[in-house]
Amino acid sequence: MGAPLLLVENLRKYFEIKRVFLGKKTYLRAVDGVSLSLVRGEAISIVGESGCGKTTLGKTILRLYKPTDGRIIFDGRDITHLGWKDLKWYRRETGLVQQDPFGALPPFMTVKRILEEPLVINGVKNRREREEKIYKALERVKLTPVEDFINKYPHMLSGGQQQRVVIARATILEPKMIVADEPISMLDASVRIEILKLLQELQQKYNQSIIYITHDLSTTKYFSERIYIMYAAQIVESASTSDLLQNPMHPYTRALLNVIPDPDPGNRFIIRNVPAGEPPNLMNPPPGCRFHPRCPNFIKGVCDTREPSIIEVAKGHYVKCWLYG
């Protein structure tokens, strides 16, 4: 294996929150010390419940937000503090697919104009070349025959087709890496798989590196090589997809896996174990392990006082939990 395409070290993104009284500054720590890596041509999943910081992490990696601290190395280059001019290069090399396809597409533009825009912005001056790229992008996302779609407006397309257009736009400059932020959560069951399979094909056939962000653990195994579990702005466990699903170690991961049903008529007779409470406020997270107030395995005097570090418990399997040392 060569050097990873993306290396994120101890990344932090704090949002400043203005307090009405006292004029004191407080911070919401949306991403708080995240490290991860992405091998060229691979897909990784970032899984966590809403509000845990997934979108902020994705946007900070894409440098749509300015990092507060930490490092982002992309393709061997430190891009953490890239200035406006160099960011242009980085924008070309990366793409974002957002959650709500309809909201992401300007309603008054045709598919053709939507896809042409990033090309114009990035200085593809020749019209023929632009057209060629638009055709190729639409073929990649299987909106074929292209003629049937190219002049349509977003509202004339189904949810699945709209998301295909969003993906076509994110990949039109053939970026090395895309961040897909909950790309299927607004779609219907049968359409979800259609989009998931498309992303999988982009990865396998076109060697597209993908960061797949989701709150739905059950979709990750069809797709990514590695899973990162995020809780309250931090990664609490990471492992290869099969390792993580077969041998979850962090109590939070275990809780998640335990409550996600497969379709089975026996489910209705089971009361599931659900950790009490809710994720903490990121302006004032609990001391020690952030999961400790909800954790069934919590060790008093340890988990509530000191923050666990990340430990490699098996090859390539990392856990941030005192149960493991």
Partner 1 sequence: MRKEHLSVKHLIMYYRTMRGEVRAVDDVSFSLLKGETVALIGESGCGKSSLAKAIIRLMPRNVSIYKGIILFNGINLMDLDEEEFRRKIRWSKITYVPQAALNSLNPVIKVGEQMIEPLTIIYKMGKREALEKAAEALRRVGIDESFIDRYPFELSGGMKQRIIIATALLTNPELIILDEPTSSLDTLTQANIMNILKSIKRETGLSMIFITHDISLSSELADKVAVMYAGQIVEFDTAERFYSNPKHPYSQKLMDSVPTLRTNKKLDFIPGSPPSLLNPPKGCRFAERCQFAFNNCAEDPPAIYLDGDFYVKCWLYMRK
Nearest of 157, 150, 10 to residue 80 by alpha carbon? 10
Under the binding rule (CB under 5 A), the answer on residue 98 touching Mg ion is no
User: Which partner in ligand ADP, Mg ion, partner 1, none is near 15 (CB below 5 to 8 A by kind)?
Assistant: ligand ADP
Under the binding rule (CB under 8 A), the answer on residue 296 touching partner 1 is no
State residue 241 phi and psi, 5-degree precision.
-55, -45
Site for partner 1 in 24-63 (CB under 8 A): 49-50
Under the binding rule (CB under 8 A), the answer on residue 261 touching partner 1 is yes
Under the binding rule (CB under 8 A), the answer on residue 128 touching partner 1 is no
Closest to partner 1 by CB, 48 vs 70, is 48
Residue 240 forms beta bridges with which residues? 226
CA distances from 7 to 35, 40, 109, 181, 313 (A): 8, 11, 36, 19, 21
Using CA atoms, how far apart are residues 208 and 142, in angstroms rounded to an integer?
Answer: 16
The dihedral sign for the CA sequence 149, 153, 159, 163: positive
CB 154 within 8 Å of CB 165:
yes
Under the binding rule (CB under 8 A), the answer on residue 145 touching partner 1 is no
Q: Residues 259, 284, 297, 314: which binds partner 1 (CB under 8 A)?
A: 259
- Helix axes of 159-171 and 189-206: crossing angle, nearest 10 degrees: 20
Hey, what are 208's tokens?
A: 């597209």
Closest to Mg ion by CB, 158 vs 273, is 158
What does the radius of gyration of the chain's CA atoms come to, in whole angstroms?
Answer: 21
User: Which partner in Mg ion, partner 1, ligand ADP, none is near 245 (CB below 5 to 8 A by kind)?
Assistant: partner 1
Question: How many residues touch partner 1 (CB under 8 A)?
Answer: 39
CB 113 within 8 Å of CB 119:
no
Using CA atoms, how far apart are residues 212 and 148, in angstroms rounded to an integer?
Answer: 29
Q: How far is the CB of 158 from Mg ion (least distance, A)?
A: 17
Contact set with ligand ADP (CB under 6 A): 15, 28, 30, 48, 50-56, 282
User: Which partner in partner 1, Mg ion, ligand ADP, none is near 309 (CB below 5 to 8 A by kind)?
Assistant: none
Binding mask 33-72 for Mg ion (x = CB under 5 A): ----------------------x-----------------
Binding mask 179-218 for partner 1 (x = CB under 8 A): ---------xxxxxxx-xx-----------------xxxx
CB-based contacts of 26: which residues, under 8 Å, 6+ apart? Answer: 16, 17, 19, 283
CB 80 within 8 Å of CB 67:
yes
Binding site residues, Mg ion, CB under 5 A: 55
Binding site residues, partner 1, CB under 8 A: 49-50, 158, 160, 188-194, 196-197, 215-219, 221-222, 245, 255-257, 259-265, 267-268, 270-272, 274-275, 278
